[in-house]
Amino acid sequence: MKKLLMVMLLGVFVWACGGDASKSEGSYTRPAEKAEKMDDGKGIGVTNVKLNVPLNQEMVANGKAIYELKCAACHRLSAKRVVGPGWAGLTDKRKPEWIMNMITNVDVMLEKDPVAQKLLEECLTRMPNQNVTESDARDILEFIYQNDIDQKAKG
């Protein structure tokens, strides 16, 4: 009786794990491959940022205060890398959406965004989630734009 039960369980297992050979796998694309092909340089999360021209100085001041509190330990305003990359020229290299997504959605970005993953390989330290709101991230972004203007003026 035990042998019959074992044979039946084994049969159910084989049947359950078996695939349908008539189905073609040629057109299937894994989700990660789709994401890489559709990469628009914006990252994952925020999809549209309206930039201020001229910069909003109140947002710049708030962004600077947040930078000093949460970012300055790892990032310099120059191009110098400390723990994380320096911020000089950041707005020339990355889209505003990508910058905001890296600030607000760092865990997902490090998991799925190829640019963020490459930065992690270079810096060897995972950026911590600072629980920055989207509004505060927008202020930081405004400050980053002001920093790039200031850095270019130093020339």
Q: What is the pTM of this model?
A: 0.75
- Model confidence over 18-70: pLDDT tens digits? 444 333 333 333 344 334 444 699 999 999 999 999 999 999 999 999 999 99
Closest by CA position to 124, among listed 112, 110, 134: 110
Confidence of residue 155 (pLDDT cuts 50, 70, 90): confident
Tell me which CATH code domain 57-155 carries. 1.10.760.10
- The angle that helices 134-154 and 57-66 make with each other, rounded to 10 degrees, is 100
Distance, CA of 103 to chain centre: 8
- Model confidence over 7-17: pLDDT tens digits? 454 444 444 44
Domain ranges of the chain: 57-155
Structure-block tokens of residue 117? 């993953």
Distance, CA of 22 to chain centre: 39
Confidence of residue 1 (pLDDT cuts 50, 70, 90): low
Does residue 126 carry a pLDDT above 60? yes
